Each structure stands twice: as structure tokens, then as C-alpha cells.
Amino acid sequence: MTLSVNTNKSALIALQNLNKTSDELGKAEDRISTSLAISGAKDNASIWSIAQDQRADVSSLSSVKMSLNRAQSISDVAMAAGESVSNLLNLMREKVIAAMETSLGSSARKALNDDFQGLLSQLDQVVANASFDGSNLLNNSLSQSLRFLADADAVLAVTLSVQDLTVGGPNVTVPVGSSILTPVDATAVLAELDVSIQATNGAVATVGSQAKRIEAHLTFIGKLSDTLEAGVGNLVDADMAKESARLQALQVQQQLGVQALSIANSGPQVILSLFQGQ
């Protein structure tokens, strides 16, 4: 081996190796601190780009889930109110049937009519309060069906259709101001009630069917989002056990590199010792 005081090749090589080890150690520490094997484009441009695209889809699906959750809440409120309307119509029919009894006295007939009017008023209140986040499917306040996001590109949509359950409307056809003070009145109201009960049950069933589809799609979107997140993790997440072992190995290499550099730097002292005692 050639000894030179001008160029210490061993020290240069040892320094290069130490710098390389230090760089690798820094990268390992970054991967452990971020839990990411690929945290930026410089780590792996193609995989980072794919991961970013998938992250964008996951973020978009979060908006879709929010929209579908809102749809689910609106439909849940509408179904609860619609079922209450159906129950109230059944109670009203009970009063009407009783009022058709020709032998009833005026006081009994008035009591039945008061009960009927109370149920009719309660029905109005139920429909008026069937609102969530400003949207009411039942009170004839909406001119068209509600549309909600169904995919990450905002191309597809799920809908909730309007179901008017107001008194005197297309489903609850019992006229506003109806009474059952006479058997004739009760007979006329009964015909409207039977139509109303059938139409209301159909309207509530429609909302229920749409709500079921929304629930199923919400479940699908949740699973899709989880799958995409797992896919991103498979692309960019660091293997922490592997990185921990690598970190320890690099730390040992760094210590050995420091010692190697120290030994290499002592090389010129050997040349000096050759001239001692001359």
C-alpha cells in the first residue's frame, strides 16, 4: 500500500462510506417518524403519484359519505313522520266508523268529532315538523326530488322523491275542515280516509325503499373508502419492524464508520514515525 501525506485515500473512502451510512440513517429515521416508506415524490415518483390519486378519491368519498348521511337522516325523519301519519289515519278511521252509528246522541257525536279534529290537527303538525337540515319531503315545500352525491366524481346521484302528506293533498285527500258531526258526513269522510290510508302507506313505502338503497350505497361507499385507504397504505406505509431493525444496523455501521475514519486519519502518523530517530 502506498503511503502519502498529500492524499489519504483510505480516509476519503471511509468518509464517503460514513456519509452514505449517515444519509441512509437519516432516511430510516424519517420513515420511522412518519411511518411512511414513500413520503414524497423524490422517494418514488410513480408510486407517490398513484398514492396521491387514491388519496384524492378517498377525500372525495368523504364528501359522498357526508351527503349520503344527510340523505339517510332526511329519509329517516320522513319515514318516522309518515308512519305516524299512517297511524293517525287509522285512529281517525276508528272515530269515523263510530260516528256512522245513527243512534248516537249529539254530545257523543260532538266528542267523536272533537277527537277527529284533534287527530287531523296532530297530523298537520307531524307533517310540518318532518324536517331535517331544512329539508322536508312531506309538507309540499319542495318542488322536486332531492339529489345526493353517489360517487367520487359527482357524476352519479341517489334521490329522495317528494311525498306530499299534507291534509287535502294528493295522498291525504281528506279535505281541510272535514267533520263527522252527522252519519252522512262520516260516510263521506270514510271514503276519503280509505283512499288516504292506501296512498299514504304507498308513499311511506316509497321513502322506505329509497332509504334502503341509500343505506346500502352508504355501506358500499364506506367499504370502498376503507379499501382505497388500505391500498394507499400498501403503497406507501413503512414496515416498522423492518425499519427498526434497519435503523439499529445503520447505527452500528455509523459507529464502525467513525472508527474506520479515525483509523484512516491516523495513517499519516505512520509516515511520520518512519522518520523519527533519523
149 strand-pairing partners:
157
Higher-confidence residue of 258 and 166: namely: 166
Instruction: Count CA atoms closer than 13 A to 188's CA, side-chain side.
Output: 10
Mean residue pLDDT across the chain: 87
Looking at the chain, how many residues does it have? 278
Over range 215-227, report the average pLDDT: 95
Instruction: Count CA atoms closer than 13 A to 89's CA, side-chain side.
Output: 28
Digit-coded pLDDT (tens) for 106-143 = 999 999 999 999 999 999 999 999 999 999 999 999 99
**In angstroms, how far is the first alpha carbon of the chain from the final one?**
23
User: The whole model's pTM is what?
Assistant: 0.76
Residue 63, amino acid: S
Distance, CA of 24 to CA of 254 (rounded, Å) = 10
What is the H or E stretch that residue 158 is in?
A: strand 157-160
How is residue 175 annotated by DSSP?
P
Cα dihedral: 183, 97, 206, 147 (round 10): 50
